């Protein structure tokens, strides 16, 4: 078995009218890895995911998922995938347990339904109709449906939308258990703290191309992580990147404490914004 669960090389997608959604996207995902695909709305994330899942054909490039071209994936291949979409259709009248049991029957080696319900925090709602659940609770059902088949590769597209902070933390614990079991995960999320918490590597997609790729701690390169010192002198704002912020602060303090002095060590969010731009991020939000 190959160590690469996903291989994407020079992936391109052009829609009618000549609109280029993807312009040469390339990346790999290793077995057991959690890989985050980041970018603003319209950057090409959803198109990439849909091609990997076999729901959309590519214009050109090479794509392999679990050793198979998704355009020719069989039912056996699809049974090895777990998919949690951004949104689902109308909620069924079935209960949570009935729906999970129904879906579990589609897979050769499903997880125990009661264990899955407990894992997503819905034990007390197991007999409740899905239509009567809150939006956040329905989202947990989506996640449960995505993992009940014990997938080798799990697609998580904005999985914690609608979760409260406590539910998000519980979900992260669930993902860590899946990681411990060796499940490969492709995560798309606008919550950058979630990507930093769960993923080992990430790619930032912007305008249909990969702007940066690497481990979470190294994404953007060393220069992007140089500390920033900011201060004001009257109405003038100053900013300077330096490998030795302490020395700069000492020099500035010789003539008195600088106004609004702060030392910023760039986070994943800072690096992300440096690639997608503040204006584009505001549009995404």
Paired tokens of 8: 């994407």
Average pLDDT over residues 54-76: 95
The answer, yes or no, to whether residue 1 has pLDDT greater than 80, is no
In a domain, 84, yes or no: yes
Do 11 and 130 have their domain in common? yes
**pLDDT value for 279:** 41
**pLDDT value for 231:** 92
Do 142 and 190 have their domain in common? yes
Do 257 and 208 have their domain in common? no
CA atoms within 13 A on the CB side of 13: 23
227: region left, alpha or beta (phi > 0 left; psi from -120 to 50 alpha): beta
Do 201 and 235 have their domain in common? no
- Which of the four pLDDT bands, split at 50, 70 and 90, describes residue 280? very low
Average pLDDT over residues 30-52: 95
Task: In whole angstroms, give the CA distance from residue 160 to residue 151.
Answer: 19
| First and final C-alpha spacing in the chain | 41
Do 208 and 259 have their domain in common? no
* DSSP 8-class letter at 95: B
Do 191 and 251 have their domain in common? no
Do 145 and 241 have their domain in common? no
In a domain, 283, yes or no: no
In 80-234, DSSP assigns E strands to 81-84, 153-157, 184-188, 201-206, 209-215, 228-233
**pLDDT value for 28:** 97
Task: Give the CATH number, domain containing residue 173.
Answer: 3.40.50.300
In a domain, 83, yes or no: yes
Number of domains in the chain: 2
Nearest to 84 by CA among 159, 179, 138, 32: 159
In a domain, 67, yes or no: yes
Do 19 and 122 have their domain in common? yes
Average pLDDT over residues 27-53: 95
In a domain, 271, yes or no: no
Q: Torsions phi, psi of 15, nearest 5?
A: -90, 170
Do 78 and 159 have their domain in common? yes
Average pLDDT over residues 223-245: 88
* DSSP 8-class letter at 40: -
Task: In whole angstroms, give the CA distance from residue 185 to residue 132.
Answer: 30
What are the Cα distances from residue 97, in Å, to 66, 88, 141? 30, 18, 10
For the chain, give the number of residues: 285
pTM listed for this prediction: 0.83
- 3-state class of 264 per DSSP? strand
What are the Cα distances from residue 9, in Å, to 73, 137, 220? 18, 38, 21
In a domain, 42, yes or no: yes
Task: In whole angstroms, give the CA distance from residue 83 to residue 149.
Answer: 10
User: Do 37 and 20 touch, CB atoms closer than 8 A?
Assistant: no
Task: In whole angstroms, give the CA distance from residue 122 to residue 162.
Answer: 15
What pairs with residue 95 in β-bridges?
Answer: 129
- 3-state class of 60 per DSSP? strand
Do 102 and 80 have their domain in common? yes
Do 177 and 253 have their domain in common? no
In a domain, 282, yes or no: no
- Which of the four pLDDT bands, split at 50, 70 and 90, describes residue 101? very high
Task: In whole angstroms, give the CA distance from residue 58 to residue 14.
Answer: 8
Paired tokens of 88: 């689902």
Task: In whole angstroms, give the CA distance from residue 274 to residue 220.
Answer: 9
- The distance from CA 202 to its chain's CA centroid, rounded to whole angstroms, is 8
Range with the poorest average pLDDT among 39-53, 59-73, 139-153, 163-177? 163-177
In a domain, 220, yes or no: no
Average pLDDT over residues 61-82: 95
Domain of 37, in residue numbers: 4-215
Do 175 and 34 have their domain in common? yes
């Amino acid at each position: 078995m190959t160590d690469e669960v996903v291989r994407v090389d020079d992936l391109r997608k052009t829609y009618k009218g000549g609109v280029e959604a993807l312009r040469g996207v390339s990346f790999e995902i290793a077995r057991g890895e959690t890989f985050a695909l980041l970018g603003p709305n319209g950057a090409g994330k959803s198109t990439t995911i849909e091609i990997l899942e076999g729901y959309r054909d590519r214009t050109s490039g090479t794509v392999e998922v679990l050793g198979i071209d998704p355009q020719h994936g069989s039912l056996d291949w699809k049974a090895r995938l777990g998919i949690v979409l951004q949104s689902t259709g109308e909620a069924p009248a079935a209960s949570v347990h009935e729906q999970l049991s129904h879906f579990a029957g589609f897979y050769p080696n499903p997880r125990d339904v009661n264990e899955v319900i407990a894992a997503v925090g819905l034990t007390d709602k197991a007999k409740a109709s899905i239509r009567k659940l809150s939006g956040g609770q329905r989202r947990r059902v989506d996640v449960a449906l995505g993992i009940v088949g014990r997938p080798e590769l799990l697609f998580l597209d904005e999985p914690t939308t609608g979760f409260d902070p406590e539910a998000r933390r519980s979900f992260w614990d669930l993902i860590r258990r899946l990681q411990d079991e060796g499940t490969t995960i492709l995560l798309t999320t606008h919550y950058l703290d979630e990507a930093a918490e769960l993923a080992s590597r990430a790619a930032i997609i912007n305008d249909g191309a990969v702007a940066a790729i690497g481990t979470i701690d190294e994404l953007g390169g060393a220069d992007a992580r140089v500390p920033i010192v900011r201060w004001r002198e009257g109405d003038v704002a100053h900013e300077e990147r330096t490998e030795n912020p302490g020395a700069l602060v000492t020099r500035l303090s010789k003539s008195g404490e600088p106004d609004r002095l702060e030392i910023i060590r760039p986070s994943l969010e800072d690096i992300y914004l440096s690639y997608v731009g503040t204006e584009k991020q505001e549009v995404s939000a």
